[in-house]
Amino acid sequence: MNQQELQALRAMIVAHKRWDTLFGVIGILALMLGLMTFAALFADMAINGLGRISVDFLTSFPSRRAANAGILSAWVGSVLVMLVTAFAAVPLGVAAGVYLEEYAPKNWITDIIEINVSNLAGVPSIIYGLLALGLFVYTFGLGQSILTAGLTLALLILPVVIVATREAIRSIPQIIREGAYACGATTWQVVSDHIVPYSSAGILTGVIIGMARAIGETAPIITVGALTFIAFLPTMPFTGELPAGPFDWLFAPFTVMPIQMFNWTSRPEAAFLSNAAAAGFILVLMTLAMNGLAIWLRYRLRKNIKW
Amino acid sequence: MNAMTDRYETLLPLKAEARNLSFYYGNFQALKNINMPIYEKKVTSLIGPSGCGKSTYLRCFNRMHDLYPGNRYEGAIDFHPDHTDLLSKKVDPIEVRMRISMVFQKPNPFPKSIYENVAYGLRVRGENARSVIDDKVEAALRGAALWGEVKDRLKELGANLSGGQQQRLCIARALATDPELMLFDEPTSALDPIATASIEELITELKERVTILIVTHNMQQAARISDYTAYMYIGEMVEFGVTDQIFIKPKRKETEDYITGRFG
């Protein structure tokens, strides 16, 4: 290669590399756009609400006077509803995912189920609310209760849990399954000794991401009849008298964080807007904490999984 | 009875015998009418070019094909001494796998501790007594020539071992339940020469206790470790015989071409 050709080659490489730089810049801008928007919203909420956040705010019931109002009934309601959601969605979703991956024959029926599970994840949440109103509130007579709300949100996140379970199971190499079967294991032994333990990190991540979505849901909860003003707490779980006492809380009326926020933002007084911002700030923290937990659990559980 | 059957009927005790075995993946016939003896406490190796059906044949013995839809067996594998037909629909594949264990091409330890890897076959059989499991795990690890290297780290993950150690761990897992027949599917193809040598040595020692059927794509390996060798080509058993005879004086032209490297 002579000097002239070499220079032409170098010039060409420099020209090509410009596209690398250009795309890098575009990528950073796109990323920043998303992150900055969220950061600005979060900062705005923090500025408006931070002044209101105190122990009193967390331990007071809502009130007509903005300065006395708190989110006690809202966050307790959210936590209890999430508890029901988790207890309903995890066993159902994991069982469905395991069945589809390890037991179901691969034919057109399972294909249809598969497509529909994915589609369910895209159904607007208000539809789940209407379904739950008809099914849980009227047909099953569960009332406008924590149980109804928890089950509704469980339905909402069920597709997320199923899809996460299936993806986690699919990432287990086939050779591990064959190794277990070759030892003489039944399908159930393979599932309980290998498939579920090895996919638990992925399943948990899916569950928590689903829960983080569910905790912010408003529409389906309003539809099933959450109250906007609650100045009492349900009986704490498992403290009531037997026989039905321990589960009284399931049938208690309730409110949740996003509904409390929605209620406050619709008030004319500016002071309530600060309350809404403060509640929103705490809700975002709860969501971030759940996602943080998901990341930590995934890291912990995956440490012991090597193929 | 064909001529080949007549010849081996008079020899050593049999552990298993394939009779008119054919196998289909859907409509594709992968094995064609295979007849072959497996002699007790001998090493029998299956050789042949890629895609000749040797792994497919091996996986018939522990009914691995039952895990996937659309697979179909024809013929029989007569398992001695009880004359169970391994391929019969009436015989549960789990029963078959409890009697016949397998070591895979790529080491596949479970993401569990070394101890639990070896103990798994016992746990599957419902064995819960700690002392029994302890003893059998130690015996299996000794049998797999791994005990000295891992006895102080039984709680560590199996995946932390080197490739050769992992394969010996898988051999210990397959050995722990006292199988009657062990299947090896190219067990050294993912290993370096030193690890390969140690696995080969181990297989030679194991034949004192258990019958071994091994697939290998390495002809020298077949010559080194096996007592009997079968040459397969496109789903057919071309020639079966004593290893020395197959390698020194093959009866069939096709076998000779493959052995001498003129083909494959």
Report the CATH number that the domain containing residue B38 is assigned in CATH: 3.40.50.300
Residue appearing with tokens 């923290």: A285
CB contact under 8 A, A306 and B159: yes
In DSSP notation, chain A reads --HHHHHHHHHHHHHHHHHHHHHHHHHHHHHHHHHHHHHHHHHHHHHHHGGG-SHHHHH----SSTTT---HHHHHHHHHHHHHHHHHHHHHHHHHHHIIIIIS--SHHHHHHHHHHHHHTTS-HHHHHHHHIIIIIIIS---SSHHHHHHHHHHHHHHHHHHHHHHHHHTS-HHHHHHHHHTT--HHHHIIIIIHHHHHHHHHHHHHHHHHHHHT--HHHHHTT--S---S-PPPTT-SPTTTGGGGGGGS----HHHHHHHHHTSSSHHHHHHHHHHHHHHHHHHHHHHHHHHHHHHHHHTT---
B193 interfacial to chain A (CB closer than 8 Å): no
Mean pLDDT, chain A cut into blocks of 10 residues (307 residues total): 92 94 96 93 89 86 84 89 93 95 90 90 90 91 89 93 94 95 96 95 90 89 80 68 65 87 86 89 90 87 80
The DSSP bridge pattern shows strands B14-25 and B43-47 to be: unpaired
* Site from A103, A176, A183, A199 to mutate, B interface, most B CB atoms within 10 angstroms: A183
**A123 and A252, same domain (yes or no):** yes
Range of the domain at A16: 3-50
Min CA distance, A207 vs chain B (Å)? 23
Q: What is the C-alpha to C-alpha distance for residues A96 and A83, in angstroms, rounded to an integer?
A: 20
CB contact under 8 A, A175 and B98: no
**A168 and A151, same domain (yes or no):** yes
Q: What is the C-alpha to C-alpha distance for residues B151 and B163, in angstroms, rounded to an integer?
A: 18
Burial of A148 (0-12, 13-18, 19+ CB in 10 A): buried
- Residue B3, pLDDT above cutoff 50: no
pLDDT at B1: 38
Residues whose CB is less than 8 angstroms from the CB of residue B106 and which lie 6 or more positions away in sequence, other chains included: A175, B190
Which strand (E) or helix (H) includes residue B198?
helix B193-206
Identify whether B251 is part of a domain.
yes
Q: Give whole-number Cα distances, B262 to A66, B202, B243, in Å.
A: 92, 31, 19
A198 interfacial to chain B (CB closer than 8 Å): yes
Could you tell me the pLDDT band of residue B46, with boundaries at 50, 70 and 90?
very high
**A27 and A175, same domain (yes or no):** no
The DSSP bridge pattern shows strands B71-79 and B43-47 to be: unpaired
**A31 and A106, same domain (yes or no):** no
Q: Is the dihedral of CA A98, A101, A107, A110 positive or negative?
A: positive
pLDDT at B201: 93
Sheet with strand B71-79: strands edge to edge: B28-39, B14-25, B71-79, B84-85
pLDDT at A14: 94
Burial of B131 (0-12, 13-18, 19+ CB in 10 A): exposed
pLDDT at A242: 54
> Are B203 and B225 a contacting pair, CB within 8 Å?
yes
Structure confidence by residue, pLDDT tens digits, B120-136: 999 999 999 999 999 99
Contacts of A177 in chain B (CB under 8 A): 67
Contacts of A179 in chain B (CB under 8 A): 104, 108-110, 170, 173
Q: Which of A106, A176, A305 sits opposite B108 (nearest CB)?
A: A176
> Are B193 and B217 a contacting pair, CB within 8 Å?
no
Identify whether B223 is part of a domain.
yes
Contacts of B95 in chain A (CB under 8 A): 184
Min CA distance, A199 vs chain B (Å)? 11
Identify whether B140 is part of a domain.
yes
Range of the domain at B102: 2-259
Least confident of A260-274, B27-41, B64-78, B215-229: A260-274
Identify whether B177 is part of a domain.
yes
> Are B124 and A187 a contacting pair, CB within 8 Å?
no
CB contact under 8 A, A183 and B173: yes
Q: What is the C-alpha to C-alpha distance for residues A131 and A248, in angstroms, rounded to an integer?
A: 24
**A71 and A36, same domain (yes or no):** no
* Site from B112, B156, B167, B175 to mutate, A interface, most A CB atoms within 10 angstroms: B112
Average pLDDT over residues B106-127: 95
**A8 and A71, same domain (yes or no):** no
Identify whether B62 is part of a domain.
yes
> Are A197 and A155 a contacting pair, CB within 8 Å?
no
User: In the structure encoding, which two tokens stand for residue B238, read together?
Assistant: 């071309």
pLDDT at B6: 45
Identify whether B264 is part of a domain.
no
Number of domains in chain B: 1
pLDDT at B226: 95
Could you tell me the pLDDT band of residue B5, with boundaries at 50, 70 and 90?
very low
Number of domains in chain A: 2
Closest residue in B to A186 (Cα) is B94
Q: Which of B94, B110, B174 sits opposite A176 (nearest CB)?
A: B110
**A237 and A169, same domain (yes or no):** yes
Residue appearing with tokens 């609310």: A129
Identify whether B190 is part of a domain.
yes
Q: Which of A175, A181, A305 sits opposite B97 (nearest CB)?
A: A181
CB contact under 8 A, A304 and B94: no
**A180 and A263, same domain (yes or no):** yes
CB contact under 8 A, B101 and A183: yes
pLDDT at B38: 95
- Residue B60, pLDDT above cutoff 90: yes
Residue appearing with tokens 């299947």: B183
Min CA distance, A185 vs chain B (Å)? 6
Rounded to two decimals, the ipTM of the complex is: 0.92
Among residues A30, A50, A70, the one where a domain terminates is: A50
Q: Is the peptide bond before A243 cis (omega within 30 degrees of 0)?
A: yes
**A27 and A173, same domain (yes or no):** no
Tell me the pLDDT of chain B averaged across its residues. Answer: 92
Contacts of B163 in chain A (CB under 8 A): none
Residue B104 DSSP SS3: coil
**A241 and A170, same domain (yes or no):** yes
B255 interfacial to chain A (CB closer than 8 Å): no
pLDDT at B171: 95
> Are A110 and A100 a contacting pair, CB within 8 Å?
yes
- Residue B52, pLDDT above cutoff 50: yes
**A115 and A158, same domain (yes or no):** yes
B174 interfacial to chain A (CB closer than 8 Å): yes
Q: What is the C-alpha to C-alpha distance for residues A241 and A248, in angstroms, rounded to an integer?
A: 9
Spacing of C-alpha A76 from chain mean position: 17
User: In the structure encoding, which two tokens stand for residue A4, read together?
Assistant: 């002239």
CATH number at residue A71: 1.10.3720.10
**A26 and A67, same domain (yes or no):** no
